[in-house]
Structure 1
Amino acid sequence: MAEATQYVTLGIASELLAVPVERVREILESQPLSRLPHAPPWFLGMIDVRGQGVPVVDLRVKLGFDAGADTENTRIIVLEARMEGHELTLGLKTDRVFEVTPLDDADLEPPPRVGAGWRPEFIVGIGRRNEAFVTVLDLDHLFASTEVALIAPALDQADIAPPQRGEG
């Protein structure tokens, strides 16, 4: 019998995507961000999550979709990704989050090979849920790209946590 993995399903534009539930720390409502100068368009800025500065990536823009306006359904999924051998906590801004659902690993189809210019390495596979295609993202490849490496120095220096009592 095929082993089913639990995924958090989310939407950007009209697309249904999924990330492994074991990588998700929490799901937050949209909130103000502290922007960093000269950041790439897909890097929205930083938010504070329990005293930790967390970079937020616009998943729509990162995956090549047009940027979208925030709505009451916009969410930030705080998750763990591996970048250059290190664990990194990141936020993904998504249009909406649906549910946690199982997908059978053995039933995931590989991403289609359709030619140059398309980046299938961001995709683990394509599953189906309620007769809809679900694109399972490969978080480590999505965030291991050289583009994300550009923001690493800024993340090392970012300190947006509020001062502790007695500091000043």
Structure 2
Amino acid sequence: MAEITQYVTLGIASELLAVPVERVREILESQPLSRLPHAPPWFLGMIDVRGQGVPVVDLRVKLGFDAGEDTENTRIIVLEARMEGHELTLGLKTDRVFEVTPLDDTDLEPPPRVGAGWRPEFIVGIGRRNGAFVTVLALDHLFASTEVALIAPAEMDSGVGDIKSGAS
């Protein structure tokens, strides 16, 4: 029997998105961030997760939506992404997290090709959950090489970045 992929479903604006559960380390409530000067609008700052500084990205802004106000449902999903050949621990600020679930069909539809300005490389595919479309994010492609250098220079240079080590 084939193993069924589980996803963490989340929301930004009115959109339903998902990330593979095996990439998620933990889900945190919104918390104060240490902002960095001259950072791009999508880079919110750093949080401390068990002694490790973790960069936090506003997923709404990164995906082209207007920034939103934090609510009691705002969450930071701490996860692992592979970027530029390195593992990077980062936080994605989302409006809400729904559940861990499989999608209705194990096969995802490919992202649509709709023309200039659209970034289909950010998406693994489109699935469905209870009749609603679910956009599965391509975590490893959300950031260009120049953006990775902005949010993880120490990890890129030293190879450090394992959230489980707790080393400082």
- The equivalent of 2:150 in structure 1 is 150
Structure 2 Cα separation of the partners of residues 98 and 104 of structure 1: 15
- The equivalent of 1:36 in structure 2 is 36
Change over 3 Å in CA distance of 1:156–1:113 after alignment to 2: closer
Matched residue pairs, number? 157
Superposed CA offset, 1:54-94 (max 9, x none):
00000000000000000000000000001111111000000
SS at structure 2 position matched to 1:60: helix
**Gap runs ≥5 in structure 2:** 158-168
- The equivalent of 2:113 in structure 1 is 113
**Gap runs ≥5 in structure 1:** 158-168
Superposed CA offset, 1:84-137 (max 9, x none):
111110000000000001126742100000011110000000000011000000
1:77 maps to a residue whose letter is I
1:123 maps to a residue whose letter is I
Whether the 8 Å CA contact 2:46–2:56 is kept in 1: the answer is yes
Change over 3 Å in CA distance of 1:104–1:129 after alignment to 2: closer
Q: What TM-score, normalized by structure 1, do the two folds share? A: 0.87
Asked if 1:100 is matched to 2:108, the reply is: no
Superposition misfits of 4+ residues, deviation over 2 angstroms? 1-4, 103-107, 143-157
Higher-Rg structure is 1
Deviation at 1:150?
2.7
2:41 maps to a residue whose letter is P
Q: What TM-score, normalized by structure 2, do the two folds share? A: 0.87
- The equivalent of 2:85 in structure 1 is 85
SS at structure 2 position matched to 1:27: strand
Structure 1 Cα separation of the partners of residues 78 and 134 of structure 2: 20
Whether the 8 Å CA contact 1:43–1:58 is kept in 2: the answer is yes
Whether the 8 Å CA contact 1:3–1:106 is kept in 2: the answer is no
Deviation at 1:139?
0.2
Structure 1 Cα separation of the partners of residues 135 and 14 of structure 2: 12
- The equivalent of 1:62 in structure 2 is 62
SS at structure 1 position matched to 2:112: coil
Whether the 8 Å CA contact 1:121–1:141 is kept in 2: the answer is yes
Deviation at 1:4?
2.4
Deviates more, 1:147-156 or 1:113-122: 147-156
SS at structure 1 position matched to 2:89: strand
Asked if 1:11 is matched to 2:11, the reply is: yes
